[in-house]
Amino acid sequence: MRAKYLGRSDGALTLVLRKLGSLTLDERKKIGPVAQALKEKLEQLCDAQETQLLGLGGSVVDATLPSLAPETGHLHPVTLVRWQLEDLFTRMGFVIVDGPEVESEWYNFDALNMPSWHPARDMQDTFYTEVQSSKFKVQSDEVAAQRLVLRTQTSPVQIRAMEKYGVPLRCIVPGRVYRNEATDARHENTFWQIEGLMIDRDISLAHLISISKIFLRDLLGERIGIRVRPGYFPFTEPSIEMDITCQLCADQRRSSSRFAGPKSQTRLPKPVTGNGNIHGDKDAQFMYGVFSKDGYGGQVNADVKCPVCKGMGWLEFMGAGLMHPFVLKSGGVDPKKYSGFAFGFGLTRLAMMKYGIGDIRMMMSGNLRFLEQF
Ligand code: PHE
């Protein structure tokens, strides 16, 4: 309406007003005031209409614009990795077992061959509740063994699974665990682990290592390197620790001039045995194999500035071993007939590896700008 009647160049009323000058005085006196009044009236009406359309939000609603896409939810990186592993392990005949996050000291420690005086408990300081539970059996008369704690590991479910399902048994236990930790880029007080168990006749470390290779390659790709070192856990005997090649700086390492391994990834290098040269780790001389398509020997590479592995190329990945006879007995299994392997690793840390996340604190931050990337 404004353009039609009041438009600067060809508005109907504008043209009338422009013509006034060419009229006689009489005509001007007659038409002039009427046209002027009409112009003011029209402007008022247009202004009022415009204010109404602009509404409270101050912008014109354009009903022809496409609507905003609704925000859809998505899975947390830890959940994505957990589901992928659950899928893979289920296909290999493992069942998925759950356990309580508030656990009795018996299941979390004592039943796993870690009585209250055991030094290994120091490494898993946790949050103790004031609740005493008489529901759980205790190893000795100690009252302490009846306290409830936030579980420090998924290992207590080893015992629960044996009690519930008996043997033979193949299961994995994904779950949240808690430790009284000072937090930094690699440590959190709350994180996820996955426990794995395979109990049957004649289960050996060979089963453990091949199952580990299968799931690590499925998750992180064929190029992942695996290193096995001796370790210590009260609930496994022998115990091992498994390291994987750092995925955050893998490309950087490979393109470095100090990189000693093969640049092409076509052949698997021979396992290195008796290598005593692993970043000053005295255990390394006992290391019995490097299963790495990376061809990476484990020396610190000064060219690589990696915040996670500090240029070492290796990351501690999981603890494992053959189940201690005491543990089998705690779960009601005869260690003379059955053997089993157990492993436990940090699922949160694995998700960090997979997605190249440098700081574990991001995982719990609830920061949408971080989470929306997955
Ligand atoms: N529970 C151990 C930990 O949290 C890992 C582990 C699990 C080691 C099973 C051996 C066997 O450190």
**CA separation for the pair 136, 221 (Å, rounded):** 43
Average pLDDT rounded to a whole number, residues 46-73: 76
What pLDDT, on the 0 to 100 scale, is given for residue 135? 54
What number does the ligand 1 atom closest to the CA of 318 have? 5
Type of residue at 156? P
Q: What is the pLDDT of residues 179-214, one digit of tens each?
A: 998 888 888 999 999 999 999 999 999 999 999 999
| Biggest distance spanned by C-alpha atoms of the chain | 126
The answer, yes or no, to whether any atom of ligand 1 lies below 6 A from the CB of 340, is no
C-alpha torsion 312→313→316→320, nearest 10: -130
> Nearest residue CA, atom 9 of ligand 1?
343
- Per-residue confidence band for 34, with pLDDT thresholds at 50, 70 and 90: very high
Q: What atom in ligand 1 is closest to the CA of residue 319?
A: 8
pLDDT per position as a tens digit, 129-171: 887 766 555 555 555 456 889 999 999 999 999 999 999 999 9
What's the gap in Å between 340 CA and the centre of ligand 1?
14
What is the per-residue pLDDT for 307? 73
Q: How much distance in Å is there from the Cα of 144 to the middle of ligand 1?
A: 22
Cβ–Cβ < 8 Å for 193, 177 = yes
Residue 137 forms part of a structural domain: no
Q: Are residues 87 and 28 in the same domain?
A: no
Within a domain: residue 136? no
Neighbours of 290 (CB within 10 A): 24
Cα–Cα distance measured from residue 3 to residue 14, given in angstroms and rounded to the nearest whole number: 10
- The pLDDT of residue 130 is 81
User: In total, how many domains does the chain have?
Assistant: 2
CA distances from 100 to 7, 83, 103 (A): 76, 20, 6
The range of the structural domain enclosing residue 317 comes to 78-101+151-257+271-371
342 CB less than 6 Å from ligand 1? yes
Do 280 and 299 contact (CB within 8 A), yes or no?
no
Distance 223 CA to ligand 1 centre (A): 25
88/40 same-domain check = no
Are both 212 and 301 inside the same structural domain?
Answer: yes
Indicate whether 254 pLDDT > 80.
no
Collapsing DSSP to helix, strand or coil, 347 comes out as helix
pLDDT tens, 229-241? 999 999 999 999 9
The predicted-structure confidence for 271-319, as pLDDT tens digits, reads as follows: 444 333 333 333 332 333 333 434 444 455 667 777 777 777 788 899 9
The best mutation among 109, 155, 180 to test binding of ligand 1, ranked by most ligand atoms within 8 Å of the C-beta, falls on: 155
CA 168 / ligand 1 centre spacing (Å): 21
The answer as to whether 123 is a domain residue is no
Task: Please indicate whether residue 153, judged by its CB atom, sits closer than 6 Å to ligand 1.
Answer: yes
14 and 86 fall within a common domain: no
| 69 pLDDT more than 60 | yes
Q: Is the pLDDT of residue 270 over 50?
A: no
Mean pLDDT of 16-20: 89
What percentage of the chain exceeds 90 in pLDDT? 46
Q: What is the mean pLDDT of residues 208-225?
A: 89
**Residue 349 DSSP class:** H
Identify which of 205, 235, 241, 243 to mutate to test ligand 1's pocket (most ligand atoms within 8 A of the CB). 235
Q: What is the mean pLDDT of the chain?
A: 82
Helices (H), 270-340: 325-330
